[in-house]
Amino acid sequence: MIIAHLSDLHLGYRAFGHVEQGKNVREVDVARAFHQAIQKILEIGPAAVLVAGDVFDRPEPPHSALVALAQGLQSLREALPDTPVLMAAGARDTPAGPADPGPLGAFDTLGGVEAVTATTRSVHYSQLDLNVVLVPHRSTIQEPGPVVMPNPDARWNLVVGYGSVDAEGSALLDLESRDWDYVALGHEHFRREVVTGVHYAGAIERVGATPWEAAAEEKGFLTCDLESGQVDFHPIHGRPVVSLEPIPFEPDRPERLRERVREVLVEVPGGIEEKIVRIRIQGLPPGRLDLLNGVLPEYRRRALHLEVQLDDEPSGPLSRENMTAKRLASRLAERLAEEGDNFEALVELVRNCLPGKQV
């Protein structure tokens, strides 16, 4: 019996302020990645589909995100009417008010769909001889923590949970992995096997504030053949992200900087067209960003997003807060030097830099 495991869809994610035909380009990318995943799942035909949180990018997602999820569920129901879809809300789709059912609440009403936001729920499918325990984010942060027990009468026992787990047990979710045939986790955006049978599937697109950190990692989802324990990764092709090698600023030859920036951008294999690109410059004081005047607009038009990051010389580890402040300052300094940026785009930039945007 094969099950599919997705997480961190972040439907409704928006970034970079690029709008085409009234839609944020990155939101369209994320919806496309989700529909790509659905198409692959239809080909695989799993017995159950598990979605481990952060289905939406925020507790009040745009209507377009609700439509994207509804379309995906409808495709699954049509082609695989006997395949249940089980979703547990993550931090991103958990509303602040404890009585608020959240956006997933609407989908919990559909036949063949379980979508939990508040409390842990155990669902038994006798035809599949399958028991699934859903552990949404909220249930893991309340006292007492969730009681997550396998059903001894079921042949297969699965968990769909959102949060951090680790081998030492200092985690939100306390599990004995031997009790379970598969544990499907969400929250971490990088794919990872925690221990045998306990997996983070990772996000399906590079949705964090720093997408270049995921530039080299393929995104996608997992399937597990419960009989053999075989886990397979199914890649999804999202928008390319390019992280370029840092360029050292030479104070005695400042004019050289423009040439070097042009060189590294021209050398990107396949060009920078429509990609998300980060260029890093080491040792350039923010006040000297004028050295790049006239160089960037051309490349900014060609890339979906071109980010210039100013790196200091390596100087020991920075705290998370310092990193955030540094990133924010560097991005603001750079963007404010541009013309035509609107207030909304700047607010989004600040929000994207704040800690917690990674998850």
Helical ranges in the chain per DSSP H: 25-44, 63-79, 137-141, 256-266, 296-302, 320-336, 343-353
Reading the block at residue 267, the tokens are 């050398």
User: Rounded CA gap, 217 and 219, in Å?
Assistant: 6
| CB 189 to Mn ion: min, Å | 6
**DSSP class of 82:** T
Q: What x-and-dash track marks residues 3-42 binding Mn ion by CB under 5 A? A: -----x----------------------------------
- Is residue 359 a contact point for Mn ion (CB under 5 A)? yes
- Report the candidate in 170, 166, 194 with the shortest Cα–Cα distance to residue 182: 194
Instruction: Count the residues of the shown chain that bind Mn ion, applying the rule CB under 5 A.
Output: 3
Q: What residue type is 62 in one-letter code?
A: P
**DSSP class of 105:** G
The residue among 184 and 359 lying less far from Mn ion, judged by its C-beta, is 359
Cα 15-20-22 angle, rounded to 5 deg: 90
8 Å CB contact between 207 and 199: no
Q: Of 54, 114, 181, 334, which lies in the binding site for Mn ion, with binding defined by CB under 5 A?
A: 54
- Which range, of 15-23, 46-54, 212-220, 263-271, touches Mn ion by CB under 5 A? 46-54
The residue among 54 and 307 lying less far from Mn ion, judged by its C-beta, is 54
Residue numbers 280-319 binding Mn ion by CB under 5 A: none
| CB 51 to Mn ion: min, Å | 12
- Distances in Å between the alpha carbon of 18 and those of 27, 78, 139, 352? 10, 34, 36, 15
- Distances in Å between the alpha carbon of 238 and those of 22, 25, 116, 235? 20, 12, 28, 9
| CB 162 to Mn ion: min, Å | 9
The residue among 125 and 190 lying less far from Mn ion, judged by its C-beta, is 190
- Is residue 51 a contact point for Mn ion (CB under 5 A)? no
| CB 10 to Mn ion: min, Å | 6
- Which range, of 49-57, 256-264, 270-278, 282-290, touches Mn ion by CB under 5 A? 49-57
- Is residue 57 a contact point for Mn ion (CB under 5 A)? no
Q: Which residues bind Mn ion (CB under 5 A)?
A: 8, 54, 359
